[in-house]
Amino acid sequence: MASTQPTANGSLQHSATAESSASSFKSSASKADPSATPVSSSQTTATTTAPPEEEEEPEWQAPKNGPLKTPIYTPMKSAKPNSLSSRPLTPEQETKYATVFAAVSQWQTLPSTSLKDGAQAPLQDHERMWLTRECLLRYLRATKWNTPNALKRLQSTISWRREYGADTFSADYISPENETGKQLILGYDNEARPCLYLMPAKQNTKMSDRQIHHLCYMLDRTIDMMPPGQESACLLISFKGAGNGHVPTVAQARAVLNILQNHSPERLGKALISELPWYVATFFKLISPFIDPVTREKMKFNEDLRTYVPKQQLWSQHGGSKNGELNFEYDHDSYWPALDKEIQRRRVAFRERWEKGGKLIGEYEEYLRGGRCLSMGEVIRKAEAEKGETVGGAMEGDADLVAAEVAKLSV
């Protein structure tokens, strides 16, 4: 017999297995609407009564009175996000998502280290906020829809971020690493992915943990700069002027791949690598066994960058003869405070929307980033109003599992 216990958000929930919960979910949904099927229910849109459309912003333009010295905050209007998470799920994928959602919703504590039998600590609000619908789907796709593996990796990432201190890195701590502008968040590609430039030739510090912290910090900030509907980034890596001493060690490369592949799955949209000297090509051959096939497929070498990034937002100093039109000059005292100010503004707005939406696990990133999308709580209430009863019928009281059914609605 299933017992009840508090969930991570304090509601009562049955402690039956996630698989049986997911199955009963589909059963209760069918009882509420005999004509509904998993596929048809997933087509219901969460934007039917979205907030009024805001006044359209003008097209971004570069300054005419000198070089740009600050980040770019909006993609070109021609850039269109193409998020995998916005695509309809198959009935099998819906069941797997509901299974993962149900399990994650019951998390109360998680290990604070990657060590076996490590000390447990309560799940924090910023960790619950990280567990969005799209986040769960990214980990499911990365594990080829293997629900136990997806859950294991989700938990592993939270434990790793705690142990690594990823959520404690501040702009002031990272600032010395970026004084030469060796990493830049600047502009957006043709699919509205924020662009992160990496330029090893501008290395200004000796090898240390903070160098890897720097990349971790900039990847997180690149995610903060994503517009509604986008969930991946574009890396532009130029080895122009990089001597042999500027090439990362294999150990550093593996640490970076660990962050990208294991703890930021599905976050890399494209990696555009240009101006490779022979020793860098040799380096990539050395680390190729550690690069998974999905990541390797996204890596493009010495291609025309204008194929991927609109020339108006492509830095003119990057890409050799195949560069863009953007006149940008890195001035640390101008760029770094401007980036931090914009990041803080976005993070505060993101958090406020999450709190306004009910602080739910499985919230929609489209909503959290300010897109024209209802929150998950609003979708639940709308579905309840249309049915004239609590969504889930026989599962009344199982708030998190009911939300799992609603979370499958396309956004």
Q: Does residue 157 sit in the same domain as residue 181?
A: no
Q: Which residue carries 């970076």 as its tokens?
A: 256
Amino acid at 246: H
For residue 140, the model assigns a pLDDT of 97
CA angle 21, 43, 35 (to 5 degrees): 70
Please report whether residue 47 resides in a domain. Answer: no
Return the DSSP state at 158.
H
Please compute, for residue 273, the number of CA atoms within 13 A of its CA located in the half-sphere on the CB side. Answer: 13
Please report whether residue 200 resides in a domain. Answer: yes
**Which two tokens mark 48?**
């039917």
Amino acid at 354: W
End-to-end CA distance of the chain: 36
Please report whether residue 259 resides in a domain. Answer: yes
For residue 53, the model assigns a pLDDT of 53
Length of the chain: 411
CATH of the domain at 188: 3.40.525.10
> For residues 233 and 109, is the Cβ–Cβ distance under 8 A?
no
**Which domain covers residue 197, as residue numbers?**
175-330
Q: Does residue 217 sit in the same domain as residue 299?
A: yes
**Which two tokens mark 324?**
């863009």
For residue 375, the model assigns a pLDDT of 95
Q: Which residue carries 């229910």 as its tokens?
A: 41
Closest Cα to residue 410, out of 41, 29, 26, 100?
A: 41
> For residues 330 and 186, is the Cβ–Cβ distance under 8 A?
no
Q: Does residue 206 sit in the same domain as residue 296?
A: yes
Closest Cα to residue 158, out of 135, 174, 140, 181?
A: 135
For residue 317, the model assigns a pLDDT of 86
Please report whether residue 376 resides in a domain. Answer: yes
For residue 276, the model assigns a pLDDT of 79
Quote the distance between the C-alpha of residue 21 and its chain's center: 27
Q: Does residue 247 sit in the same domain as residue 132?
A: no
For residue 52, the model assigns a pLDDT of 53
The span from the CA of 70 to the CA of 332, in Å, is: 9
DSSP 291-304: S-HHHHHTEEES--
Closest Cα to residue 389, out of 31, 10, 26, 7?
A: 31
Please compute, for residue 333, the number of CA atoms within 13 A of its CA located in the half-sphere on the CB side. Answer: 0
Please report whether residue 314 resides in a domain. Answer: yes
pTM of the shown model: 0.83
Rg (CA), the chain: 22
For residue 246, the model assigns a pLDDT of 62
Q: Does residue 179 sit in the same domain as residue 308?
A: yes
Q: Does residue 309 sit in the same domain as residue 377?
A: no
Helices (H), 171-320: 171-174, 209-224, 250-257, 278-287, 293-297
DSSP 256-275: HHIIIIISSTT-EEEEEEE-
Please report whether residue 17 resides in a domain. Answer: no
Structural domains in the chain (count): 2
> For residues 12 and 6, is the Cβ–Cβ distance under 8 A?
yes
Strand partners, 142: none
Closest Cα to residue 268, out of 234, 318, 239?
A: 234
Q: Does residue 255 sit in the same domain as residue 321?
A: yes
For residue 147, the model assigns a pLDDT of 97
CA angle 164, 167, 170 (to 5 degrees): 105
Please report whether residue 131 resides in a domain. Answer: yes
Q: Does residue 235 sit in the same domain as residue 259?
A: yes
Q: Does residue 192 sit in the same domain as residue 300?
A: yes
Please report whether residue 261 resides in a domain. Answer: yes
Q: Does residue 275 sit in the same domain as residue 158?
A: no
For residue 257, the model assigns a pLDDT of 83
Q: Does residue 117 sit in the same domain as residue 230?
A: no
> pLDDT tens digits for the chain (411 residues)?
333 333 333 333 333 344 444 444 343 333 333 333 233 333 334 444 455 555 677 899 999 999 999 999 999 999 999 888 888 999 999 999 999 999 999 999 999 998 888 899 999 999 999 999 999 999 999 999 999 999 999 999 999 999 999 999 999 999 999 999 999 999 999 999 999 999 988 999 988 899 999 999 999 999 999 999 999 999 999 888 876 666 667 777 788 888 888 999 999 999 999 887 776 677 677 667 777 888 888 989 889 999 999 999 999 988 655 667 999 999 999 999 999 999 999 999 999 999 999 999 999 999 999 999 999 999 888 888 887 765 544 334 454 555 445 555 544
Q: Does residue 230 sit in the same domain as residue 130?
A: no
Amino acid at 52: P
